[in-house]
Structure 1
Amino acid sequence: ACVLVLPDFTEMMRALGYPRLISMENFHTPNFILVSEVLLWLVRRYEPQTAIPAAVETEQDRVFFIKAVAQFMATKAHIKLNTKKLYQADGYAVKELLKVTSVLYSAMSTKGVEQAELSEEDSSKFKFDLGSKIADLKAARQLASEIASRGASLYDLLGKEVALREARAESIARPLEINEAEKAVKIAIDSVLEQVQKTKDMLNNVALDEASLEAKIEKRKVELERSQKRLETLQSVR
């Protein structure tokens, strides 16, 4: 029953421009490599710059790949795929692939009808790229949202300009108070000098502590030498 969908699937893939020829024999036995190639190609028809990894060497890679493709199709194209059947990579997988190719083929056919009056040369140049159209739409929406946000921000700023203009003019017209400026600078200098003096005092205290500690160490050395001499004297008496 699964094989019956293959002719339609292969014809659709050929019409969509898939570079390889696909025959019914390709899916008589599981063929994961081909299924993964087709899936990745279909995904890129929707979004050429997709970041889905193409590695399918290990079982873990294949499971991750199938899940990533299924999630992409569900979110981007609203197509629900059966991951278990896709993983089988046989005729049942083709039924899942057909869900995607049918949408793309239908869209291309609709576009083809609209382009029926084009010349043969123009028709040969026509390429169906739903992915680029979706990307353009997303970019346009994002740009429109950003323009609206920037416009609202600019409107708010312009609304404050009247008050800001008055404050700016008042500040410019105000004469420069030299005395106040000198006073502020002097306060800043005094604060720095105070900090410098505190640092010097701390360094002096450290030096005093160091000298005191050295004196104590020297005293302990003298006491130790005396104790050693007494011990030697006692030992010699015995």
Structure 2
Amino acid sequence: MSYRDLRNFTEMMRGLGYPRLISVENFRQPNFELVAEILLWLIQRYEPDAHIPKDIDTEQDRVIFIKSSAQFIATKIHIKLNTKRLYMADGYSVKELLKVASVLHSAIVFLYQSHAGISRFLILRSKINVLTKASKINELKAVRQLASEVTQRGATLYHLLSQEPELRDARMSALAHPLDINTIEKGLRSSIMKVEQNTKSTLQKLDNVAADEANLEAKIEKRKSELDRSKKRLSTLQSVRPAFMDEFERLEEELKLQYASYLIKFRNMTYLEHQMEDHNRQEQARMNENELSLRRIQTRLREEE
């Protein structure tokens, strides 16, 4: 018997509604009364009208009870039980009881899912009756999608249930396989080593961050000191008057006077040039008129001759 089998069995029995609490201590020693009670309860859970002899006082009665129960389960539920393990009534009998409990538990889970799907469908149908025509179309699409989803899940469930006889033996053998302590210890050691390596790398990164922070602080302090020196130098340069500043101001005043004189002379020269151009234009016009008058006189004299 493994702890995993007992845990699965207790959870399934609790889910099926078994009224009694089952623990590991119940199966450390042979306990035929408990095994018989659980087996009879599972059979009645499957078929309440089943007729199984309940007398287990003598050895013959116990043999008859085990054979009758195994025959009923093989006929109705199609599960073959090991009667020897059931009669031993110890931890190995849990594996046989787990076969029946797993089938009943799967049926209850499937029934719950079916009821949940039906309730969802009823909720959607009630909403369809209240909403408007436009929303009804959307809800009908949702109902169709839900119907197709239910069909697909039903087909998937049927396919999985069809594979159950083939996978049952493999599952039971895997569950019955004892845990290897050495393998578990190696896995734990490897996990511990990985955690330690991750911790070391994290601490190293933290140390690097601290070193980078110290370097940045040193650079910031250096830049601050350079900035302070530059500010002091600037204030010193602004407060000191250069030696050539007096001469510069005197020359600047002279330059202003010279520039004002230059502007006056430039305006006068421009005006005189304009006047000279007008005079030349008038002289040229006068000369053209004189030449034209001479030509006229010459032409008239030629005509008189």
Q: If the length of structure 1 is used for normalisation, what is the TM-score?
A: 0.48
Choose between structure 1 and 2 for higher RCO, CA contacts under 8 A separated by at least 6 residues: 1
Q: If the length of structure 2 is used for normalisation, what is the TM-score?
A: 0.38
Instruction: Work out which of the two has the higher radius of gyration on C-alpha atoms and give 1 or 2.
Output: 2
